[in-house]
Structure 1
Amino acid sequence: MTPGFPTASAEVFRDILARGVDTAIITQDQAERLAALAAGPEEPADDERLRFVTGFADVFVTFGVLLFLGAVHVLGGSMLGGGWSSALVAVFAWALAELFTRRRRMALPSIVLLLIFTVSCAYAAALAIAGTPSLPASLDREPVTVFGAAAVTVGLVALHYRRFGVPITIAAGTAALAAALVALAASIAPEPVAAHLPVIVAGAGLAVFALAMRFDLSDPARLTRRSDIAFWLHLLAAPLIVHPVLSALVAARSDMALDSNATASLSASGAQASVLGVVLLLSIVALVTDRRAILVSGLAYAGYTIGDLIRQIGLGNSALPLSLLVLGAFVLMLSAGWRPLRRAVLRLLPGDVSRRLPHPVGL
């Protein structure tokens, strides 16, 4: 928050700077210098700012949007069928975005409307391509349907971003593009893709992470819309990277636990150590990039592993509360010491690398 300004005024000032850079009225360097001048010698109150709600009006409008579009979906489904109902919801979501996104610039309704628009477009396109009133329970055997629906969604989401410029749109379009590419590969070589799907998903996550870092590095002071785009891309990349790796380790641990011999027990312990090691690595990456979303995706697996360790020492009845206690203490300690820990980690990096990273906490 800018010293001397109410929170709302600081958000308005930041939005003005972001719009000034996006419309080429001022340069990125000028925006950073103006923000530094307004902030004075103090550090910003939050080192990973993201605007969701500017007032209760955002929550109130979002509630109305969900009620209205939910009713459109139900009524449209009963009269027109699932595909046309989803298309109708997408049309109404676009129309509502004209008011609440383009004119009133409300953050939370804009995010919700974009998500509803994306899902509705994907579902309507999938039903149209499949030519059926409903989709099968599993789409992994329908790569052509997934590819077509994802490709259509990418195009429509691109039009949405060009019209409204909601930061989360880039992440939604990237997710659809990744789904399209994986489906295309599955249609060409189904067996290799099925056999190596976790590796492919993790690779897609790394590609999304690289894109997120590109946006982050282009706005090191986190003043413009590019910082918000990077946040949503990191939020998308994290589970794509973390889930295939940690789920494989947890599954390996579960399989080894069924074998009672000493070798299996040692291997199971190694799998547990690997899970915790990956979470520690994620913590370091989160500190380096100053993005907590990367770490949050691994906390569930860390909690499972900690509970497993607690059960092994004979405290099975208290495994859940104790694992939550340890996990909560870790998160709180990391949050409380985020800035000094980040400074310490960045000092270990080469100077030219450290200088290019986001430094919103006055490092």
Structure 2
Amino acid sequence: MISGETLERAVRQGVITEDQRLKLAGLANEAAQADTANAPGGDEPMRLVGGGNDLFVTVGIVLLFAGALFVLQSIIGNETTMIAAILGAAIWIVAEFVTRQRRMRLSSTVLGLGFIAAAVTILSIHIGGRIEIDAIDNPLQLAALRPRIGGWGALFFAATAAAAVLYFVRFRVPIMAAVLALSFTGAAFLFTVLYFYDGVVNGQVLMPTLEQIPDVIARALYMPLLCGLVVFGTAVAFDLHDRERYTVWSDCAFWLHAISAPLLVHPLFILATGQDVVFGEIEPGASASVMLMLLIAAFVYVALAIDRRSLLIPTLAYFGSLGIYYLIDNAANTAGVPPFALILLVIGSMIIMFGAGWQRIRRLIVVPTLPTSVLTKLPPIKL
């Protein structure tokens, strides 16, 4: 591997340009990560932390910008827009060194989220002032915002997505893919609500009664489910494009899977088990528990097939936290063993089992159940 000093000497002697040096350094870094991924055991490479120095620099970044925030507040006062603009510009400057030159993973992620937070703050203040949301005293006055909220809402999500794209083009930070997915999902939710509101106002849709609210909420779950499927499909496309996971697109897929899992799991849980999320219990009965176990099994199989624990972890965390909530909430009134207790035991056992032998389980479950034509398109299964 060519050292950084050799690359610097090549730039000074005019053998390569500075931009080529940065690209070569990035390729060398990706190759090193690929070697780690293909090492014995075949563990999925860590996509968030680049090492001890990365953690050290991340702490410094948090302290630096926390201090800068307090200094700016003491000097400028309550000029939140100006403070956010200054911090956003400072984040961009720091990222030129930390991300463009050093390629520190965790530090780059924190800087990227800080830049998006600054952009969202500026947009929120600007758009909030235009639609005069501070003047709203009661929910009925929200109807007066309808002529403007559609356009300004579209501007908010489009500008947030544009900021994420701009940052990604410059710094290639994978978490911007998650920001982009959340922007499109937020826009889809907004325009779905506006469509329903317009239907009620125009008389095309009847205002639901109290008894109909659970059915309305259940039907509304199709929107996050559809968004989750789109995000998941995009992530799988990235995975199939980079089966060996050498490039930044694989890291983008990691974050997209983490975003798609909650969007898929909650609607499918409600729809598959028939839970009454407004007035009823959240714990499924015997037949619904079977459906829930089948749903968990389906997510496990898909995660094994595409070799993505980032899809499986939010899924198991959701079901596990739901079960813990139920057990705590009903511990005093429960006799015997509730179904969710057994589900928690299964989930805990699965996590330990998968952590100890992920690639071996992939080989035992995925290889016999999929044709070779499909296996050749999936991430390689370590033998």
Is TM more than 0.5 here? yes
Query: CA separation in 1, counterparts of 2:171 and 2:249?
Result: 15
Shift in Å, 1:336: 2.4
Show the counterpart of 2:60: 64
Q: State the Cα distance separating 1:167 from its structure 2 match.
A: 1.7
Aligned residues: 325
Q: Helix, strand or coil: the match of 1:220?
A: coil
Compared CA separation, residues 290 and 81, structure 1 to 2 (3 A): same
Correspondence 1:333 to 2:353: yes
| Residue in structure 2 matched with residue 271 of structure 1 by the alignment | 288
Shift of residue 151 of structure 1?
Answer: 0.9
Distance 1:22 1:184 in 2: 40
Q: Taking structure 1 as reference, are residues 21 and 53 closer, same or farther at Cα in structure 2, changes over 3 Å only?
A: closer
1:250 Cα deviation after fit: 8.0
Task: Give the match for residue 265 of structure 2.
Answer: 242
Question: Which letter does structure 2 place at the counterpart of 1:198?
Answer: L
Query: How far off its partner does 1:231 sit?
Result: 0.8
What residue number does 1:95 align with? Answer: 93
Q: Is the 8 A contact 2:26 2:103 kept in 1?
A: no
Question: Aligned with 2:48: secondary structure?
Answer: coil
The residue that corresponds to 1:225 in the other structure is 248
Aligned to 1:352: 373
Gaps of 5+ in 2: 1-19, 201-215
The answer as to 2:353 corresponding to 1:342 is no
8 Å Cα contact 1:21-1:224 kept in structure 2: no
Q: By how many angstroms is 1:204 displaced?
A: 0.7
Of 318, 331, 336, the residue aligned with 1:314 is 336
- State the distance in 1 between where 2:356 and 2:62 align: 36
Instruction: Give SS of 2:99's match.
Output: helix
Match of 1:156 in 2: 163
Indicate how the Cα distance of structure 1 residues 229 and 301 shifts in structure 2: closer, same or farther if over 3 A, else same.
Answer: closer
User: Alignment identity in percent?
Assistant: 31
Query: What's the counterpart of residue 315 of structure 2?
Result: 298
Rounded to whole Å, the distance in 1 between the matches of 2:134 and 2:294 is: 43
SS at match of 1:252: coil
Q: Distance in 2 between matches of 1:55 and 1:271?
A: 44
Q: 2 CA distance for matches of 1:129 and 1:85?
A: 17
Shift of 1:290: 0.7
Summarize the Cα distance change of 1:173–1:306 in structure 2 as closer, same or farther, 3 Å threshold.
Answer: closer
Alignment of 1:1-363 (within 5 A): 44-77=40-73, 79-131=77-129, 144-190=151-197, 196-246=219-269, 249=273, 251-252=275-276, 255=279, 257=281, 268-303=285-320, 304-305=322-323, 314=336, 326-343=346-363, 344-359=365-380, 361-362=381-382
Please, which moves more after superposition, 144-153 or 288-297? Answer: 144-153
CA contact (8 A) 2:100 2:171 kept: yes
CA deviation profile, 1:46-84 (whole Å, cap 9, x unmatched): 432134333322112111211222333445456143333
Alignment-derived partner of residue 3 in structure 1: none
Does the Cα contact within 8 Å between 1:250 and 1:271 map onto a contact in 2?
Answer: yes
Answer with 1 or 2: which has the greater Rg: 2
Deviations 1:146-197 (A, max 9, x none): 4322111111111111111112222222221322343244334436798544
TM-score, normalised via structure 1 length: 0.74
The two structures have a TM-score, normalised by structure 2, of 0.71
Give the drift of 1:136: 8.8
Amino acid corresponding to residue 56 of structure 1 in structure 2: G
Measured after TM superposition, the shift of residue 340 of structure 1 is 2.7
SS in 2 for 1:340: helix
- Does the CA-based 8 Å contact 1:257-1:268 persist in structure 2? no
Conserved 8 A contact 2:42-2:382: no
Cα distance change, pair 191–165 in 1 and its aligned pair in 2 (3 A): same
Name the stretch that deviates more: 347-356 or 75-84: 75-84
One-letter amino acid of the counterpart of residue 348, structure 1: T
Name the CA distance, whole Å, in 1 between partners of 2:169 and 2:150: 28
Structure 1 residue ranges without an equivalent (≥5):
1-15, 259-264
Q: Secondary structure at the match of 2:376?
A: helix
Change in 2 beyond 3 A, CA 1:186/1:62: same
